[in-house]
Structure 1
Amino acid sequence: MTLERGNSMMPVHAAMMMWPTSIATGAAVVGGGLSFLLSLPAITIAGPLGWAIFFFAIAGGGGALLGSKGDRRARRWAGQYPWRWASGPAVLAGLGIGIVSIFGGGLGGIFVGLGAGAVIWFILGLIASIAGNKSA
């Protein structure tokens, strides 16, 4: 129903049907683990957890668009509306990073979440507009 032709109001859950969770989880574990090891003298969890969320969104979104698996209708929709597609992962990751940062350091975490969401939105929108499958 939501993936029919001409439907430009595709919900976030349908846009993320082609999300490669194993690749995204691996990138989150590696990115968060390396960030944790770099901040090891001062044991902190908020920073590495924020980086893990960031890498999960970037690797999952990029893998969904560049990979061969997934729903062709969702990939076609992402190619036709790249910035709308990128807004789903960006909002979810920005909220997650913002909440983790608020618990880790105070109200400045709201701006950290907004900034991270904007960076994710830009990167995934650029990938979708260049590599999106518009003719699938």
Structure 2
Amino acid sequence: MTLERGNSFMPVHAATLMWPTGIATGAGLVAGGLSFLAEPGITGPIATAIFFFALVGGGVALLGGKGDRRARRWAGQYPWRFAGGPAVLAGLGTALMTLLGAGGFFGAIFAGLASAAVIWVILGIVGMVAGNKSA
């Protein structure tokens, strides 16, 4: 796999080459567990766990020093493109859980787009401000 300019799957590749699975999974489990204690049902806590898995994983991937050097450099140079990978993950997961939790089709679309937009903006700003452009 090459990490070159113009590759359409680059956000996904960069995220997978430097994704901190342990930290992201731990954050998702903690957030989902606390959400499970706070509200009834199972789909809401799973959606919360997916959201925080994508948010914390993307943030640590941008700020951390581990992972492939080329992927870190690419994510620092193109923070908004990198943020698209975790945003799509969170958006699809949230939409699916909302649809399964009797949220309705349009409610699921709105919830998925809203969570994707929040993660995209947060990770894009983090990447712009603190991204490692010289990795």
The alpha carbon displacement at 1:49 in A equals 0.6
> Structure 2 regions of 5+ residues with no counterpart?
none
**Corresponding residue of 1:85:** 82
Report if aligned partners of 2:79, 2:127 keep a CA contact under 8 Å in 1: yes
- Give the secondary-structure state (helix, strand or coil) at the position aligned to 2:41: coil
| Secondary structure of the corresponding residue to residue 133 of structure 1 | coil
In structure 2, the CA distance between the partners of 1:10 and 1:68, relative to structure 1 (3 Å rule), is: farther
Does residue 21 in structure 1 map to residue 18 in structure 2? no
Pairwise CA distance, 1:10 = 5.4
d(CA) in 2 for partners of 1:75, 1:10: 17
Task: Write out aligned runs for 1:31-110 (5 A).
Answer: 31-39=31-39, 43-104=40-101, 105-107=103-105, 108-110=107-109
State the AA in 2 paired with 1:62: G
Instruction: Name the aligned partner's letter for residue 32 of structure 1.
Output: G
- After superposition, give the CA deviation of every residue in 1:14-62 in whole Å (9 maximum; x if it has no partner): 11110000000000000000001011xxx31111111000100011001
Unaligned 5+ segments in structure 1 are none
Contact 2:63 2:132 in 1 (8 A): no
Matched AA of 1:90: A
In structure 1, C-alpha distance between the alignment counterparts of 2:80 and 2:7, rounded to whole Å = 12
More helix per residue: 2
The answer to whether the 8 Å contact 1:2/1:10 transfers is no
TM-score, structure 2 as length reference: 0.92
The aligned length equals 131
TM-score by length of 1: 0.91
The residue that corresponds to 1:129 in the other structure is 128
Percent identical: 64
Structure 2 counterpart of 1:38, one-letter code: A
**RMSD between superposed Cα atoms in Å:** 1.2
1:9 alignment partner, SS class: coil
